[in-house]
Amino acid sequence: MKNIKELWFWFRLVICPILILHGVYVIGKLVGNSLVSQSGLPNLDSSHFAPLAGAFCALNVLFYTWKEAKVRFSVKHQ
């Protein structure tokens, strides 16, 4: 059970920043397309909302994991 918790901890610590970066990329792509196009904002569909929702969820999980990492690493180094 300890190995599963350890694996899940490192999975969250690695995957969450990747999901957040992907969400930022999608936001940048939407803003860039709206600046370049003459019609204004592009049509938003699920391919735009899913990465944004994933980024917001990953941000919450990353904050929780970051707090857990501070506790884990401060205890190990004392």
- pLDDT reported for residue 3: 85
Closest CA to 58 of 11, 5, 2: 11
Residue 13's contacts (CB-CB under 8 Å, 6 or more residues apart) are 62, 65, 69
Domain count, the chain: 1
Whole-model pTM?
0.73
Using 50, 70 and 90 to split pLDDT, how confident is the model at 18? very high
Judged against a pLDDT cut of 70, whether residue 78 lies above it is answered with no
Domain extent at residue 47: 2-76
**More confidently predicted of 75 and 77:** 75
pLDDT band at 25 (very low <50, low <70, confident <90, very high): very high
Sign of CA dihedral 43, 59, 25, 17: negative
- All residues at 6 or more sequence positions from 62 whose CB lies less than 8 Å from its CB, including other chains: 12, 13, 16, 17, 20
